[in-house]
Amino acid sequence: MTCPNCGGDEVVFPVLEAVREHLPDDRVGATICAHCLRVSPADEAPEDYPDFSTVSEAFPDDGETSAVLAVLLALLDRLVLHREDADRVATEAERRGVDVLLFLDRVAADQSVDPELDVERRRDQLEQLI
């Protein structure tokens, strides 16, 4: 699949039920662009989690945890509207052993991606929330 935002390759992944309710669109799957990191809903999802390192080395090896972080990226785009949801998804990621702020630092430093959102600014805003 191709990203409608930048034309980059998209990776399809299942959305964990634990975080699905926090997305504006509660579909079972989503896509993340390997270039601009835009997250979009998908009508179908694979049974297995993809290798998120094809998107960025900042993602952990565990596919489920990476999917949680991808959902968090989706919420950062509209942090003012989804403040509470972003906090809960960040808490789920931390429960899985991820330092969310360090993850965002690594994404911001990753030269292989060109995020559509200002990751450093959103990281600072998220830090104030969690």
**Assigned domain for 2 exists:** no
Residue 3 lies in a domain: no
Within-domain flag for 24? yes
Q: Does any domain span residue 120?
A: yes
pTM of the model: 0.95
Residues 6+ apart with CB under 8 A from 21: none
Structure-block tokens of residue 128: 């104030």
By CB neighbour count within 10 A (0-12 exposed, 13-18 middle, 19+ buried), where does 29 fall? middle
Report the distance separating Cα 55 and Cα 12, nearest Å: 11
> Which positions ≥6 away from 35 have C-beta within 8 Å?
3, 6, 7, 8, 9, 113, 114
> Is 111 contained in some domain?
yes
Q: For residue 115, what are the domain limits? A: 10-129
Rg from Cα positions in the chain: 13
Amino acid at 130: I
Q: Contact at 8 Å (CB) between 67 and 13?
A: yes
Classify residue 106: in a domain, yes or no: yes
Please give the chain's pLDDT, 130 residues, in tens.
899 999 999 999 999 999 999 988 878 999 999 999 999 999 899 999 999 999 999 999 999 999 999 999 999 988 888 899 999 999 999 999 999 999 999 999 999 999 999 999 999 999 988 7
Give the number of domains in the chain: 1
**Which strands, in side-by-side order, build the sheet including 10-14?**
10-14, 29-33, 39-42
